[in-house]
Chain A
Amino acid sequence: MNTLRVAFLAVAVALVAAGCSTTKLDDTPAASTSKAAPAPAPAPAPAPAPVKPVDATPVTPIDPLNDPKNILSRRSVYFEFDRSSINETDVPVVEAHGRYLVDHGARTVRIEGNCDERGGREYNLALGQRRADAVRERLKVLGVSVNRVETVSLGKEKPRNTGHTEAAWAENRRADIVYK
């Protein structure tokens, strides 16, 4: 940004300087054909002041929820098979969202619990609900009112990864924090 500004200024100054050296062709002395003595040359016009540029591009603050560098951009937490305790590595994610929700009292979220494809649909529906509820419990401990947190289970019905490998299953054993 700053580099651009300097370049712009340099070009502007250069253009102003070039204007100063322009020869006014209309000033060709007509008297050269007459016998009269040439008139004295008019004094040159004063040089215009340099332009102070204004940048009108709107300045938007970066939404921390969408800033890839911010932990809040992570909205998913993961679980082991048939478990509903949040993986240790994902606890900071829930904590960050808890702090954000405490600071932004108007925001509400929906937690969606998901499971991998193995096992029954009803049992996985219950397991997905328990995963979503586990995230809500963490948020509650952090001071977020539970009536700002809706939980829903998608069971094994909406896999993000439709593969049948352990990697696919791990991706689907998940709770998503969805801001409304």
Chain B
Amino acid sequence: MNRTERFSRVAYNPVDMLLFRADSDLPRSFRISASQSSITPPQLPERHVRAGQLIIGIAARARALCAHMGRWQVTAAARAALAAFVSLSCLMAGPAQAQMTVEITGVGSQQFPIAVANFFSDSALPEDMAAVIRADLARSGMFRIVEAGPAPIAESASVNFPDWKSRGADTLAVASAARLADSRIEIRYRLYDSVKGNQLDGLAFVSSGADLRRIAHRIADRIYESLTGIKGVFSTRIAYVVQYSASRYELQIADADGANPQTALKSPEFIISPTWSPDGSSLAYVSFEKHKTVVYVHNLATGQRKAIASFPGSNSGPAFSPDGRTLAMVLTRDGNSEIYTVGVDGSNLRRLTFDPSIDTEPVFSPDGTKIYFTSDRSGGPQIYRMPAGGGDAQRMTFQGDYNISPRMSPDGKTLAFIARHADQFQVAVIDLASEQQLTITDTVRDEAPSFAPNSHLILYATEVGGRGILALASTDGRARARLSGPNGDVREPTWGPFSK
């Protein structure tokens, strides 16, 4: 996929893109309080940013990015060298509490060279925030991390741009942490273009101290978006199932880098097909704890669960509608596997398919008007789509005799699924506009693809060395990484929505 093309499509949201001149102070009144996950409305003092300056800043930045596109065309040889360099370094996701190991196995077609300096702090920080940011950016495959040296650089320090440029760091991120009078911590960060010698982004966060890692992810999100034009997903969460033994399963929630895992459900029986509610408050999943498959909706904050479908036979494959009010699922109560919809309160059960073959794995299109699903009505399993209220189905996949597990990208442009070719199961994508199909992984026992909310990365389960692990691939198939847990077989990943 051509990055320049993608770039030209990006719509800039001025509210999200407050830029500050390199020589200006960050306005203290514009702060994101990460602890409350709310954004304080910007009340910018006139001396910092005037409206005209802001607009000019955005335009200049867009121009600068287009210039970068040209300059950062990387030759194939250089790309191979970069890939070798990055894949050799087995990057830890973060310090002590990081539970998963991240290994980068492929990088994007274009990599933004960036140095992320160690944070300047007046007291020791409980998190190495710069390391978290570097690991995030490296994992995306779209950044090449340039060594910034051990010395911290304060956010307010003047930057020697030619020096950074000569070191290959076309961009530089610096940040400071300072204790406030009320013992909270203020994090102030800036992103510079060292080629142009100007500032690309700058922001201040206030933290209780417990969410520094989360703030680091949010800074990484801003860097990612500033340079690629694509919204970052580092501050999102993922859910997955770990099987530790034949009778020990856990449904876990973790940060997108696998850190801070929390167990939502422990069970002696299998758990499959977890999927997030659109607001990120709940998971729907299938549990075998009653020695039959039952679909539950589980509120993560309260731990309260509701059995939505517990009919005779199988109850499985839940998927939320985009408005979060309806669940599509698979029931065998009327004979064979058929697709139904039901309200999240369990009311209004409706059957959508009437076919003697297997119909399973329903997912809604992002606009809620269609349902994609797997059916073997033509012989082997293939992907189909039908109106969300039921009706004639249209076959979507034609390569190979085994295509399953459809997922729609949140932007509605890409269909991902698992394709079998020569006994290898791999994640494939179809660009719905061009109908071009592309295999995007280098693993061969892939299952359960799940789109990142920005539509550009896919998390999936696979098996490497006899163990179940999670892996990442960009939808263009270039950037790849593997996340393996400390023990157990990890599977059934599902990527949560953007954090509010």
Binding site for B on A (CB under 8 A): 82, 118-123, 125-127, 129-130, 133, 150-155, 157-158
Contact = CB atoms under 8 A, between A and B. Distances in A.
Contact of B314 (A119, A150, A153): A153
Nearest to B417: A120
Q: Which of A126, A129, A158 has the most CB of B within 10 A?
A: A126
Interface in B264-307: 270, 272-273, 286, 288, 291-293
Given A152-B292, A157-B272, A123 B425 contact: no
Nearest to B312: A150
B217 interface: no
A157 B288 contact: yes
Interface of B: 270, 272-273, 286, 288, 291-293, 312-314, 316-317, 330, 332, 335-337, 358, 360-361, 374, 376, 380-381, 402, 404-405, 418, 420, 423, 425, 447-448, 491-492
Contacts of A119: 402, 404, 418, 420, 425
B337 A157 contact: no
Nearest to B246: A158
24 contacts: A82-B381, A118-B423, A118-B425, A119-B425, A120-B405, A121-B272, A121-B491, A122-B316, A122-B360, A122-B405, A123-B358, A123-B404, A123-B405, A125-B272, A125-B293, A125-B314, A125-B316, A126-B330, A126-B337, A150-B312, A152-B291, A152-B292, A152-B293, A157-B272
A121 B336 contact: no
Given A119-B425, A120-B447, A129 B404 contact: no
B272 A129 contact: no
A82 to B, nearest CB: 7
Contacts of A121: 272-273, 447-448, 491-492
A169 B335 CA distance: 27
Contacts of A155: 272
Contact of A133 (B286, B336, B361): B336
Nearest to A121: B272
Contacts of B312: 150
A122 B330 contact: yes
A168 to B, nearest CB: 13
B448 A120 contact: yes
Given A120-B418, A129-B314, A129-B336, 15 more contacts: A82-B376, A118-B425, A120-B374, A122-B273, A123-B361, A123-B374, A123-B405, A125-B293, A133-B335, A150-B312, A151-B313, A152-B291, A152-B293, A152-B313, A152-B314
A139 to B, nearest CB: 16
B361 A122 contact: yes
B272 A122 contact: yes
B157 to A, nearest CB: 52
Contact of A123 (B270, B332, B360): B360
Contacts of B286: 125
B361 A153 contact: no
A140 to B, nearest CB: 13
Contacts of A122: 272-273, 316-317, 330, 360-361, 374, 404-405
A166 to B, nearest CB: 10
B286 to A, nearest CB: 8
Given A120-B404, A120-B448, A129-B337, A157 B270 contact: yes
B417 to A, nearest CB: 9
Nearest to B291: A152
Nearest to B359: A126
A48 B335 CA distance: 76
A103 B65 CA distance: 80
B288 A126 contact: no
A126 B405 CA distance: 13
A157 B241 CA distance: 13
A155 B269 CA distance: 13
A81 B286 CA distance: 24
Given A123-B360, A152-B292, A153-B314, A82 B448 contact: no
A107 B360 CA distance: 33
A89 B273 CA distance: 35
A150 B376 CA distance: 24
A156 B418 CA distance: 16
Contacts of A157: 270, 272, 288
A151 B314 CA distance: 9
B293 A153 contact: yes
Contacts of B420: 118-119
A179 to B, nearest CB: 16
A122 B317 CA distance: 7
Given A151-B313, A157-B270, A126 B358 contact: yes
A133 B332 contact: yes
Nearest to B315: A125
Q: Which of A123, A129, A155 has the most CB of B within 10 A?
A: A123
A152 to B, nearest CB: 5
A151 B293 CA distance: 11
A129 B425 contact: no
A121 B287 CA distance: 13
Contacts of B402: 82, 119
Across the A-B interface, the 5 shortest Cβ-Cβ residue pairs: A126-B337, A157-B270, A126-B358, A126-B360, A120-B404
A121 B336 CA distance: 17
A120 B292 CA distance: 18
Contacts of B288: 154, 157
Q: Which of B314, B336, B402, B405 has the most CB of A within 10 A?
A: B314
Nearest to B338: A126
Q: Which of A118, A125, A129, A130 has the most CB of B within 10 A?
A: A125
B34 to A, nearest CB: 36
A118 B330 CA distance: 20
Contacts of A120: 361, 374, 404-405, 418, 447-448
B309 to A, nearest CB: 13
Nearest to A82: B380
A155 B292 CA distance: 11
B493 to A, nearest CB: 12
A109 to B, nearest CB: 15
A31 B286 CA distance: 103
